[in-house]
Chain A
Amino acid sequence: MDFKPSVFFEALTSPAFIDGVRITITLTVVAMAFGLALGLVVALLRASPWAPLRAVAWGYIWVFRAIPALVWLLFVWDALPQLVPAFKGDWFSAFAAATIALAMNEAAYAAEVFRGGLLSIDEGQQLAARALGMPPSKVFTKVIAPQLIRVTIPPLSNDFITMLKLTSLASVISLQELLARTQTLVASTFRFVEYFSAAAIYYLVLVSIFMVIQAQLERRFVWISRQPAGTSALSRVRQLAALR
């Protein structure tokens, strides 16, 4: 077996690697933020009473769920500047292209998650809010949104993890994120096992950290006055199992 722990640890702690991780995290967070915002807009358009708006939203979801993320990423990076001169400027970096492509990809999925979330909220909630005299904006922000966030945390966390991994696609447009850095180092050392293992460890650690954040987020959306042991999803499953 050819595995040199010293090379592996050197890879783990190399500044180039850590810088790649930094770019991976930044791209994930920024693309996700834009993707969620756009996804919410698309979801609300799909629920619009006006048919043309619904059609636009439907078309968006149709197109961006169908096109592979890698194809769309290459299109944005290589084809878009030819189509639209505005994208020829210096501002259009690999990072900007990756953000746009991944955010637009994510928005299609997030829109469906939000749509499902909106459908899951009882119609009586908006009726009660309107009956109290809340204007539409407050009905959404004060009554619908908190309930929407709660039901969409698990599926959107899935999306977040997917996004974290999708950022590795940006290595093909020369964005120096984690995978690109790994490949550069591998090309000069030929230590495939050590470097790819180190990269995998980083993805594992990043996803683990995020899972902790997700659990804490979910805990903030448990609507129970006292929180004795036994309110986590796991213990609820145990309780159900015990009932049977």
Chain B
Amino acid sequence: MSEPPLGHLLDAGLLGEPVAASREGTSEYVLEAVDLRKRYGHNEVLRGVTFGVHRGDVKAVLGPSGSGKSTMLRCLALLEPIDAGEVRLEGRRIGVRESGGRLVSLPERVLAKERSEIGMVFQRFNLFPHLTALGNVMIGLTEVRGRSKAEAREIAQTMIARVGLAERASFYLGELSGGQQQRVAIARALVMNPKVMLFDEPTSRGWFRQACRRPRDHDGRWRHHRRRPARRVLRQPAA
């Protein structure tokens, strides 16, 4: 199997196996959307979107602005409830539960747990301005994964170094360039060791492309990255 982009950033030894030990083989797709539908009032944004992403796959969605790409990603990341259809992560339906024969949205607290298995990099990155670059990468580990501060710092430092920002770890949002912010945002999502990564407009800054094309200079290390998340990439052609 060929190395997926950003694979060189992941390391099972550092991050642990993907959360809720993946049941490889039981499902064909890592992430699957079945007939997703979403409307805002009279505006039907998603009209039955269906697709699947295999482990290690990179898929891109292209479309003019306002065509619902970001909405679709938000639905996949469980940040917006869908009106109909299914989102499946490793074959398991997420975001809803059955109650008396009807499907109801899970309570926010449970949704939060499911979201932590899906990495999301926003178009505008949405870094936390009150935290340093390192703090942005640490916060998911301490507040969601329940790691100690010391552990989280160590892991986050390694991740920050992998995206090439070791010297900028103590910098705040306002002191980072757009490309550097993107790298922090990617590190913040990757450090959670998600099963799938969603990128909204990843090519709006240069670093993502560069990282995807990075020459294979870690040959020895790659063998440890057995279970990489699949990635779904949303991108738009440069206008």
Minimum C-beta distance from B136 to chain A (A): 9
B126 touches A133 (CB 8 A): no
Determine the residue in chain A with the shortest Cβ distance to B144.
A133
B143 touches A142 (CB 8 A): yes
A135 touches B112 (CB 8 A): yes
| Residue among A122, A131, A138, A224 making CB contact with B174, cutoff 8 Å | A224
B143 touches A223 (CB 8 A): no
Is B124 positioned at the interface, with any CB of A under 8 Å from its CB? Answer: yes
| Residue among A125, A135, A221 making CB contact with B128, cutoff 8 Å | A125
Is A136 positioned at the interface, with any CB of B under 8 Å from its CB? Answer: yes
- In Å, the complex CA distance between A31 and B208 comes to 52
Is A188 positioned at the interface, with any CB of B under 8 Å from its CB? Answer: no
Residues of chain A within 8 A of B122, CB atoms compared: 124, 127-128, 131
Instruction: Tally chain B residues at the interface, Cβ within 8 Å.
Output: 34
- In Å, the complex CA distance between A131 and B173 comes to 19
A127 touches B79 (CB 8 A): yes
B124 touches A124 (CB 8 A): yes
Minimum C-beta distance from B218 to chain A (A): 27
A136 touches B130 (CB 8 A): no
Residues of chain B within 8 A of A131, CB atoms compared: 77, 79, 115, 118, 120, 122, 189
- In Å, the complex CA distance between A225 and B130 comes to 11
What mask results when residues 114 to 142 of chain A are scored 1 for a CB within 8 Å of chain B, else 0?
00000000101101111111111010001
What mask results when residues 200 to 230 of chain A are scored 1 for a CB within 8 Å of chain B, else 0?
0000000000000000000001011100000
Residues of chain A within 8 A of B115, CB atoms compared: 130-133
Interface size class of A (residues with CB under 8 A): 20 to 34
Is B188 positioned at the interface, with any CB of A under 8 Å from its CB? Answer: yes
Minimum C-beta distance from B143 to chain A (A): 5
Residues of chain A within 8 A of B156, CB atoms compared: none
| Residue among B117, B143, B173, B175 making CB contact with A134, cutoff 8 Å | B143
What mask results when residues 164 to 176 of chain B are scored 1 for a CB within 8 Å of chain A, else 0?
0000001111110
Is A93 positioned at the interface, with any CB of B under 8 Å from its CB? Answer: no
| Given A125-B128, A132-B115, A136-B109: A224 and B143 interface contact (C-beta under 8 Å) | no
- In Å, the complex CA distance between A224 and B108 comes to 33
A143 touches B140 (CB 8 A): no
Which label, helix, strand, loop or mixed, suits the secondary structure of the A interface?
helix
A223 touches B130 (CB 8 A): yes
Is B192 positioned at the interface, with any CB of A under 8 Å from its CB? Answer: yes
Is B182 positioned at the interface, with any CB of A under 8 Å from its CB? Answer: no
- In Å, the complex CA distance between A146 and B129 comes to 10
B 99-154 contacts with A by CB, 8 A: 108-109, 112-118, 120, 122, 124, 126-130, 132, 139-140, 143-144
Minimum C-beta distance from A223 to chain B (A): 4
Residues of chain A within 8 A of B126, CB atoms compared: 122, 124-125, 127-128
- In Å, the complex CA distance between A146 and B77 comes to 25
- In Å, the complex CA distance between A223 and B127 comes to 13
Is A183 positioned at the interface, with any CB of B under 8 Å from its CB? Answer: no
Minimum C-beta distance from A150 to chain B (A): 7
A132 touches B130 (CB 8 A): no
Minimum C-beta distance from B87 to chain A (A): 14
Determine the residue in chain A with the shortest Cβ distance to B171.
A225
B130 touches A147 (CB 8 A): yes
Minimum C-beta distance from B200 to chain A (A): 11
Residues of chain A within 8 A of B172, CB atoms compared: 223-225
Determine the residue in chain A with the shortest Cβ distance to B141.
A132
- In Å, the complex CA distance between A144 and B107 comes to 20
Q: List 23 A-B contacts (CB under 8 A).
A: A125-B126, A127-B122, A130-B79, A131-B120, A131-B122, A132-B115, A132-B139, A132-B140, A132-B144, A132-B188, A134-B112, A134-B143, A136-B109, A136-B112, A138-B144, A143-B139, A146-B130, A147-B130, A150-B130, A223-B130, A223-B173, A224-B175, A225-B172
Chain A contacts to B: CB under 8 angstroms: 122, 124-125, 127-136, 138, 142-143, 146-147, 150, 221, 223-225
A133-B113, A134-B144, A150-B130 are known; give 14 further A-B pairs, CB within 8 A: A122-B126, A127-B79, A130-B79, A131-B77, A131-B122, A132-B192, A133-B116, A133-B144, A134-B140, A135-B109, A135-B112, A224-B175, A225-B132, A225-B172
